[in-house]
């Protein structure tokens, strides 16, 4: 099977090579035979098929415990449950690169499949650029990180090393694929943009066609980032979900620029402005996904998530350089066609707010990038590696995020082109007043820290503007149709008519819920360390903990000690739950891990960690975190992802500029 996988990978490389060259060459011509374009289209889909076969071949080797394969031997063992044998495919560098290039090729194949209805001048160059990206990642996999290598040993190994215990978690089945789907999905807008620049087909078509793909990539990336946060929360045992770790940041950077693009693209579509800016954002987004891959795989920064240090970093740097060189060369070539058709007429217009939103998002992106790269810069300049921690990131980003959330409330409410001061006052007076009252009430209730009060007030302001927008929309819809404003049918009709608008509001509402949850969990978190012997009690907040007993457990691949701790109400002593944090010892890997006991609640999470047991085995030390409103963070993320998918659903097909210029508008299939 391993030979078959290797062959499929090599075949994919040949096809991607051929298709990228042919696509770019055809795209540079004035005319091309339809059959030639069809060959490139089919080759693009064949690359995905071949890489899919390679991935299945690797998975088969894992499931059948084929320890003649070095990668399988390194990341699997017989005692691992089958689900972890499957997730071990992307548990190490080589397999994760194979999954990555499969997903790149899969997205490319979806675009190729849909390309029959795209403007023809765009298609050959688009297929060419899609394949150049697939070619790069396939080259890395085939020549540098090939997972189909035999283990160089004179004897057949009876068992493998096993997967890192931290990665033996259900979230590993879904978090990396989601993240990779997000990363790889965001290369589609870049391919569209470069194809538009290369072919000179710079009409609104590429912008319209690419928005859905950007939304798909963005939604997967959002889901991937939040799942990563949830994995860290459950598995790493420090009571938090986001530590501004370099690898977390690497996934966050392209999310920021993609979010900026999703806003600024609306300005280009409607006003013919920000064309060059959007090219910059699309290129930067793709470059940052490649940069993130470089960061995790080059070993230049230290992170719990990073793969082992490897020598392939230079290939990513080379490719990054190539991305920018191609983009700059094409922009210079098409500079006249990228000039704006209008200018911003008023600062009180939606386009001005979107531009401001972009600047804030880019400022956050720059601050995070600076924090990530600071150890590298400091080492280069002073010879000493200095890192910046959570306080730096929070100090810089919290005010910027709050400004962003505030703009989220302002942007959708004001009109395109220009808003009058009188109507703005009318729209914002009640939300502002409401936010002020909330702020005063919080201070009166004893919340005296500046940022939490500001964050809750801004969140309330945005909530009011969203509800106000919904109410005005329902009113306008009711006036047009004669239905009752609050009738469910009126709401459904409004949502159907303006799905993109209300999908965006849904995302904004999700952000709002997350903002409140993050503020609460940061500002009102309780953290304690204590030791207990059997029968002893400890009180924290509304809770009382009583250590009942220790319990030994033996599983196929690890031994565990559990501490059974009764969680009781401090008020009446009633039992709420018996929590069982544990310490595991993975026999094969010879590694200790801690497993958190978590009681999730709508009001707060009780997060209990068994930190250690003394030599006598009768006394244990614990860490407890009471995280207020934590669960609402995950709810907010679900709402955001839901909003993303609502927006990414296909819209009724519009005629392309090419079809309209030929006067043959075809009906969508």
Q: Where do contacts with another protein occur on this chain (CB under 8 A)? A: 1, 3-4, 7-8, 11, 15, 26-27, 29-39, 42-43, 46, 49-50, 53, 119-121, 124, 199-201, 203-204, 269-272, 341, 413-420, 422-423, 426-427, 469, 472-473, 476, 479-480, 657-658, 660-661, 663
Minimum Å distance from CB 500 to another protein? 12
Q: Shortest distance, CB of residue 102 to another protein, whole angstroms? A: 16
Residue closer to another protein, measured from CB, 449 or 659: 659
Of residues 44 and 249, the one with the C-beta less far from another protein:
44
Angle, vertex CA 304, rays to CA 631 and CA 363, nearest 5: 70
Q: Angle, to 10 degrees, between the axis of helix 93-114 and the axis of helix 123-143? A: 170
By three-state DSSP, how is residue 586 classified?
Answer: strand
Alpha helix locations (H) across 483-595?
A: 488-497, 499-523
The distance of closest approach from Cβ of residue 97 to another protein in the complex, given in angstroms and rounded to an integer, is 21
User: Which one, 38 or 666, has the nearer CB to another protein?
Assistant: 38
Least Cβ distance, residue 27 to another protein (angstroms): 7
Please identify, using beta-carbon distances, which residue of 67 and 252 lies nearer to another protein: 67
Calculate the CA dihedral of residues 116, 120, 126, 128 and round it to 10 degrees.
Answer: 90
HEC readout, 86-137: HHHHHCCHHHHHHHHHHHHHHHHHHHHHHHHHCCHHHHHHHHHHHHHHHHHH
- Rounded least distance, CB 660 to another protein, Å: 5
Residue 633 tokens read as: 């963070």
**Rounded least distance, CB 502 to another protein, Å:** 13
- State the minimum distance, in angstroms, from the CB of residue 197 to another protein: 14
Closer to another protein by CB, 230 or 270: give it: 270
Angstrom CA distances, 626 to 180, 260, 525, 631, stand at 32, 35, 6, 12
What's 69's DSSP letter?
A: B
| Residue 541 tokens, joined | 């907040």
Which neighbouring-strand residues pair with 575?
568
The DSSP code for 64 is: T
**Which C-beta is closer to another protein: that of 576 or that of 655?**
655
Considering the complex, state which of residue 202 and residue 282 has its C-beta at the smaller distance from another protein: 202
Question: For residues 31 and 571, which CB has a smaller minimum distance to another protein in the complex?
Answer: 31
Nearest residue (CB) to another protein, 89 versus 123: 123
Tokens read off for 70: 């070095």
Task: Compute CA distances 393 → 209, 365, 459, 515, whole Å.
Answer: 36, 11, 21, 16
3-class DSSP assignment, residue 206: helix
Is residue 89 within 8 Å of residue 62, measured between CB atoms? yes
Residue 494 Cβ vs another protein, minimum distance, rounded to whole Å: 11
Cβ closest to another protein, residue 198 vs residue 365 = 198
Q: Please state the closest distance from residue 219 (CB atom) to another protein, in A.
A: 25
The DSSP bridge pattern shows strands 591-595 and 537-540 to be unpaired
Residue appearing with tokens 């944090």? 581
**Whether the Cβ atoms of residue 94 and residue 41 lie closer than 8 Å to each other:** no
Which candidate, 401, 398, 392, places its Cα nearest to that of 369?
A: 392
Please identify, using beta-carbon distances, which residue of 37 and 215 lies nearer to another protein. 37
**Closest listed residue to residue 135, CA positions, set 206, 210, 187, 176:** 187
Locate tokens 């310490």: which residue?
583
Strand bridging mode 597-599 / 619-628:
unpaired
Handedness of CA 166, 167, 170, 174 (dihedral sign): positive
Nearest approach in angstroms of CB 151 to another protein is: 17
Copy the structure tokens of residue 30: 């004035």
Is 74 or 477 the residue whose CB approaches another protein more closely? 477
Compute the least distance from the CB of residue 355 to another protein, in Å: 17
**633: nearest Cα among 173, 241, 169:** 241
Q: How far is the CB of 53 from another protein (least distance, A)?
A: 7
């Amino acid at each position: 099977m391993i030979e078959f996988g290797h062959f499929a990978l090599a075949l994919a490389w040949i096809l991607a090579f051929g298709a990228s060259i042919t696509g770019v060459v055809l795209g540079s011509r004035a005319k091309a035979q339809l059959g030639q374009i069809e060959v490139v289209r089919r080759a693009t889909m064949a690359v995905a098929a071949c890489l899919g076969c390679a991935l299945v071949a690797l998975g088969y080797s894992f499931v059948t415990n084929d320890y003649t394969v070095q990668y399988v031997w390194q990341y699997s063992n017989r005692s691992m449950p089958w689900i972890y044998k499957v997730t071990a495919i992307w548990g190490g560098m080589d397999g994760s690169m194979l999954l990555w290039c499969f997903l790149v090729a899969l997205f490319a194949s979806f675009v190729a499949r849909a390309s029959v209805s795209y403007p023809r001048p765009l298609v050959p160059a688009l297929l060419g650029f899609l394949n150049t990206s697939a070619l790069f990642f396939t080259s890395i996999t085939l020549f540098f990180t090939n997972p189909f290598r035999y283990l160089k040993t004179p004897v057949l190994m009876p068992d493998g090393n096993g997967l890192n215990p931290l990665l033996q978690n259900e979230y590993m089945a879904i978090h990396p694929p989601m993240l990779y789907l997000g990363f790889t999905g965001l290369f589609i807008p870049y391919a569209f943009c470069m194809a538009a620049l290369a072919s000179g087909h710079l009409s609104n078509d590429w912008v319209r066609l690419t928005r859905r793909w950007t939304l798909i990539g963005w939604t997967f990336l959002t889901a991937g980032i939040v799942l990563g946060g949830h994995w860290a929360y459950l598995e790493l045992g420090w009571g938090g979900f986001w530590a501004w770790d370099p690898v977390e940041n690497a996934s966050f950077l392209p999310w920021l620029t993609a979010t900026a693009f999703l806003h600024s693209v609306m300005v280009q579509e409607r006003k013919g402005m920000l064309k060059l800016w959007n090219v910059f954002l699309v290129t930067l987004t793709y470059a940052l996904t490649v940069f993130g891959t470089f960061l995790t795989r080059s070993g230049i920064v230290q992170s719990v998530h990073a793969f082992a240090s490897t020598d392939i970093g230079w290939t990513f740097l080379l490719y990054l350089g190539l991305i920018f060189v191609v983009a700059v060369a094409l922009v210079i070539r098409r500079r006249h066609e990228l000039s704006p058709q209008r200018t911003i007429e008023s600062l009180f217009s939606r386009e001005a707010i979107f531009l401001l939103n972009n600047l804030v998002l880019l400022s956050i992106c720059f601050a995070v990038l600076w924090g990530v790269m600071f150890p590298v810069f400091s080492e280069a300049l002073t010879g000493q590696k200095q890192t910046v921690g959570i306080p730096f990131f929070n100090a810089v980003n919290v005010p910027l995020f709050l400004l962003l959330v505030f703009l989220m409330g302002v942007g959708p409410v004001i009109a395109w082109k220009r808003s009058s001061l009188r109507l703005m006052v009318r729209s914002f007076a009640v939300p502002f007043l409401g936010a002020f009252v909330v702020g005063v009430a919080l201070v009166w209730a004893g919340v005296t820290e500046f940022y939490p009060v500001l964050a809750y007030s801004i969140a309330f302001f945005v909530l009011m503007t969203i509800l106000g927008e919904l109410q005005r929309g329902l009113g306008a819809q009711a006036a047009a149709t004669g239905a009752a404003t609050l009738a469910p049918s009126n709401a459904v009709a409004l949502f159907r008519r303006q799905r993109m608008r209300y999908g965006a509001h849904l995302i904004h509402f999700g952000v709002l819920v997350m903002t409140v949850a993050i503020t609460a969990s940061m500002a009102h978190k309780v953290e304690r360390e204590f030791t207990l012997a059997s029968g002893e009690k400890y009180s924290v907040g509304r809770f009382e903990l009583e250590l009942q007993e220790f319990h030994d457990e033996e599983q196929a691949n690890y031994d565990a000690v559990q501490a059974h701790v009764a969680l009781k109400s401090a008020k009446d002593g009633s039992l709420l739950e018996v929590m069982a944090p544990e310490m595991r010892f993975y026999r094969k890997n010879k590694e200790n891990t801690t497993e958190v006991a978590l009681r999730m609640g709508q009001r707060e999470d009780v997060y209990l960690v068994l930190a250690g047991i003394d030599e006598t085995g009768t006394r244990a030390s614990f860490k407890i975190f009471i995280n207020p409103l934590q669960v609402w963070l995950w709810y907010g993320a679900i709402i955001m992802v839901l909003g993303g998918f609502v927006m990414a659903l296909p819209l009724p097909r519009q005629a392309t500029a090419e079809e309209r210029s030929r006067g043959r508008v075809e009906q969508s299939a």
